[in-house]
Amino acid sequence: MTTDTVVLPPAGALTEADLDPTLDLPAAIDRLRKEKNAIILAHYYQDGEIQDLADFVGDSLDLSRKAAATDAEMIVFCGVRFMGEVAKILSPGKTVVIPDAEAGCSLEEACQADVFRRFRAAHPDHVAVTYINCSAEVKALSDVIVTSSNAEAIVRQLPADKPILFAPDRHLGAFIAKKTGREMTLWPGSCIIHEQFSEKELIKLKVRHPAAKVAAHPECPESILGHADHIGSTRGILDFVLKSPASEFIIATELHIIHQMEKAAPGKVFIPAPGADGGCNCASCPFMAKNTLEKIYLAMVNGAPAIEIPEALRVAALKPLERMLELSVSVPMSSGAPHAAA
């Protein structure tokens, strides 16, 4: 069983039904941000209107660093639940709220702590390198946490004679194993969004757009990565399309990152990579999409859903996260939300 780390709003708390439909939500959220001394953090996979009101938009690594360093009293984490957990593990003295308690992650679901514990026990001489997309309990059972932007740098710093267990994303693990030449035993998990891209449809799209560069997240299967001109974290992909002299790009990751690209490079064309039906909206993460302005407002008013982690679990999960931050010093922090043209 997994520990429930989310405390729901109490009975009698404000609900969506209580909201005045004429309320100017961005203005109301802004007022609350000041009143509560809150910082709003958003992942690039959030809806554009949420990215636009955030204090900082970033990838998983930069959001963790921001959560660890903030002096705000409340962290409003617009992403998915494990990201809120990371913020609370790193900043236990802050109130950490998430807009929707049900915003999970297919990778987290694919790696249950009791099964992971047995997996580790079966490989006692291995070092457990675990992707940040997992529960606090799985973190607590790991030696070091990685994100897509620091995984390669961290794996390169591990003792060369140590075999590696990599969980839960098998595609990211396979990509890092290939790049570093390290032996890795991979957990068989994957992200539902990156898994559904279709190589056949991608080839058809490339034929229709021969000048387009393909940028892909390493959570994509190897069949997709094989067509990529750039492979990197969300922030890496963003940097690539902004620096590239090309004017057309096929983006193989969750499609809401295109919001930042269009803001920063309005003259360039960004096409979401296709799924098996050839359509585009299949790359929208249903968990990230649970967050809305209404829910952000309510979470700030109610101080809930809030992340609360039993102290023993928090301390155990903190260790591999701190190791991640120590081993990531060579990966620079981005300036935030960032790339806005204005």
Residue 99 CB, nearest approach to ligand 13P (Å): 16
DSSP string, 306-321: EE---HHHHHHHHHHH
Q: Which is nearer to ligand 13P, 43 or 65 (CB)?
A: 43
Buried residues in 238-247 as b, exposed as e (16+ CB within 10 A): bbbbeebeee
Residue 162 CB, nearest approach to ligand 13P (Å): 24
Q: Which is nearer to ligand 13P, 103 or 317 (CB)?
A: 103
Q: Is residue 149 part of the contact set for ligand 13P (CB under 6 A)?
A: yes
The angle that helices 311-326 and 60-69 make with each other, rounded to 10 degrees, is: 110
Cβ atoms of 42 and 51 within 8 Å: the answer is yes
Rg, Å, the chain Cα set = 20
Q: Site for ligand 13P (CB under 6 A): which residue of 148, 190, 291, 328?
A: 148
Q: Is residue 64 part of the contact set for ligand 13P (CB under 6 A)?
A: no
Token pair 């297919």 is at which residue?
106
Instruction: Give the three-state DSSP class for 183.
Output: coil
Structure tokens at 221: 């299967």
Q: Is residue 60 part of the contact set for ligand 13P (CB under 6 A)?
A: yes
Q: Is residue 59 part of the contact set for ligand 13P (CB under 6 A)?
A: yes
Q: Which is nearer to ligand 13P, 75 or 301 (CB)?
A: 75
Q: Is residue 133 part of the contact set for ligand 13P (CB under 6 A)?
A: yes
Instruction: Give the three-state DSSP class for 159.
Output: coil
Residue 260 CB, nearest approach to ligand 13P (Å): 12
Query: Per CB under 6 A, which of residues 227..246 are in contact with ligand 13P?
Result: 233-234
Residue 219 CB, nearest approach to ligand 13P (Å): 6
Q: Which stretch binds ligand 13P (CB under 6 A): 3-11, 111-119, 145-153, 331-339?
A: 145-153
> According to DSSP H, which parts of the chain are helical?
25-35, 48-53, 60-69, 81-90, 106-109, 113-121, 136-140, 151-156, 170-180, 192-195, 199-208, 222-225, 234-243, 258-264, 293-302, 311-326
Q: Which is nearer to ligand 13P, 187 or 297 (CB)?
A: 187
Q: Is residue 291 part of the contact set for ligand 13P (CB under 6 A)?
A: no
**Which residues, other chains included, contact 308 with Cβ-Cβ below 8 Å and sequence gap of 6+?**
5, 6, 7, 88
Q: Which stretch binds ligand 13P (CB under 6 A): 11-19, 142-150, 157-165, 265-273?
A: 142-150
Residues that bind ligand 13P (CB under 6 A): 43, 59-60, 133, 147-149, 219, 233-234
